[in-house]
A and B are shown apart, each in its own frame.
Chain A
Amino acid sequence: MTMSDIQNHTRDYSLVGESTRRAVETGLASAQWYHSEVPRKVMKELMQRRDGPAIRDTIIWLGLLVASGAGGVYFWGSWTCVPFFFVYGVLYGSACDSRWHECGHGTAFRTRWMNDVVYQIASFMVFRNPVSWRWSHARHHTDTVIVGRDPEIAFMRPPNLFVGILHYIGLLDVVASFKVMARNAFGILTPSEKSYIPESEWPKAIFAARIHMAIYLAAAIASLLMWSILPLMLIGLPRFYGCWHMFLTGLLQHGGLAEDVIDHRLNSRTVYMNPISRWIYWNMNYHVEHHMFPMVPYHALPRLHELIKDDLPEPNPSMWHAYVEMVKVLLRQRRDPEYYLRRTLPATARPYREEFHADDAVPAASSIA
């Protein structure tokens, strides 16, 4: 494929452009998605909310955050502070994402206010407007990896791998988020934001941005007054030096898989992970399951996985395996943006829902690498 061909295949990922119009016209937007069969009584049990697991995990999370932060401050000025800030950074800059996500869905706790409190704290840590992103994520679930509709597509084709690598130190992500937050704080929402945030919520989004920016400004002023970077090491900078685990796990969710389909088995990835990563990530490694049944709390996803795994592609056995698989596809997509990984279903599974992609004549990888 020539550069000219690639440019011709470059898609419009904006939420108010040609791809948006096409997605709406063809019925890709707000479509009926495939889901595996789970008896209602079983699903009702899986959906049940409990406070216990999330209270336990939140106490551990905040407890470790305070302890590691205190250690970092105590040993500040010596190399001994490094392991403390390593732990603090991951708990702040990575674990915040899964807490933000699960509490945004309202599934972490049974008690609503607990979800709301942790959601606000985690939104601040992850540098996301708590109002805008609630709506953004709702759209991500309505139109998962539908070009022109999904505001949360990580790898736009052809993928820029240099940008992908920069994600691991939060460089582009935080700078972009800072610009958005600052713009929101000045009372400005873009046409894209207005496309998924109801007008009644716009003042709330602006107010939340002003609160976040005020806290970051206070931390920056404290750093100036103390003439030390330490306050920012505790507030703000962990989003740079500690976000690597968020992207290590998060980029696997949909990377290298199909666009513009209505079957989460084609555009989402389930990966078996070690228990520490699963705790930090709150079981979002069961990502096909989460997208099919977003009502199921994180602590019930392993049980859901056992119930429906015969209807899903075989999970990647490790993060390493998943990365090898994904990077191979991303490298090829640089030359051939239409290429994607189409994973083989087990004989026990129902066929892929083909309505929007049966006539896709572009070759795809046919099984797990």
Chain B
Amino acid sequence: MPWISACEADEIDAEDVMRFDHDGHTYALYRSPDDKYYATDGLCTHEQVHLCDGLVMDNIIECPKHNGRFDYTTGAPKGAPVCVALKTYNVKVEAGMVMIEIA
């Protein structure tokens, strides 16, 4: 699987999320409060809303439209109205760049 350079590591604030588009697909990149990086699909599984406008609290991303919650470290749904898990992607930081493994 190819690793894609998504952004500089310090472009994402701690406990925040950023949108990354590549090859017609949209992803959400997260930086946790303890400075670890994660990636998921960028759209909520409930109504296809961009998660990059949502709120990150600890390991939770909350959708900006209906407040559905996911654990962005695993993709697991954590609160209505979301029922379907988010797809997650491997992430690493190399030379100050956040890299995402595109499946």
Contact = CB atoms under 8 A, between A and B. Distances in A.
Of B54, B62, B67, B69, which is in contact with the most chain A CB atoms at under 10 Å from its CB? B67
Interface in A230-252: none
A110 B62 CA distance: 12
Interface residues of B, number: 20
B39 to A, nearest CB: 18
Interface in B50-103: 53-55, 57, 62, 64-69, 79-81, 83
For chain A, what secondary structure do more than half of its interface residues adopt (helix, strand, loop), or is it mixed?
Answer: helix
Interface string B24-49: 00000000000000000000001110
A348 interface: no
Interface string A17-49: 000000000000010000000000001100111
A47 B64 CA distance: 9
Given A112-B79, A138-B81, A294 B67 contact: yes
A19 B27 CA distance: 34
A161 B67 CA distance: 34
Contacts of A200: 83
Contacts of A49: 55, 57
B62 A295 contact: yes
Contacts of B62: 106, 295
B64 A295 contact: yes
Contacts of A135: 80-81
B65 A106 contact: no
Nearest to A105: B67
A106 B47 contact: no
A275 interface: no
A105 B65 CA distance: 10
Contact of A44 (B16, B69, B81): B16
Interface residues of A, number: 22
A48 B54 CA distance: 11
A138 B48 contact: no
A110 B60 CA distance: 12
Nearest to B64: A295
Nearest to B84: A198
Contacts, number: 48
Contacts of A293: 64
Interface string A193-214: 0000010110000000000000
A106 B55 contact: no
A293 B66 CA distance: 10
B67 A142 contact: no
Given A30-B48, A44-B55, A295-B55, A142 B79 contact: no
A134 B64 CA distance: 16
B48 A106 contact: no
B55 A294 contact: no
A11 interface: no
A184 interface: no
Interface of B: 13, 16, 46-48, 53-55, 57, 62, 64-69, 79-81, 83
Given A106-B69, A112-B79, A294-B67, 15 more contacts: A30-B47, A44-B13, A48-B55, A49-B55, A107-B67, A138-B47, A138-B80, A138-B81, A141-B66, A142-B47, A142-B65, A198-B83, A294-B64, A295-B54, A295-B67
| 5 tightest Cβ-Cβ pairs between the two chains A and B | A138-B81, A47-B55, A138-B66, A106-B67, A105-B67
Interface of A: 30, 43-44, 47-49, 105-107, 110, 112, 134-135, 138, 141-142, 198, 200-201, 293-295
23 contacts: A44-B55, A47-B55, A48-B55, A49-B57, A105-B67, A106-B69, A106-B79, A107-B67, A138-B46, A138-B47, A138-B66, A138-B68, A138-B80, A141-B65, A141-B66, A142-B65, A201-B83, A294-B64, A294-B66, A294-B67, A295-B55, A295-B62, A295-B67
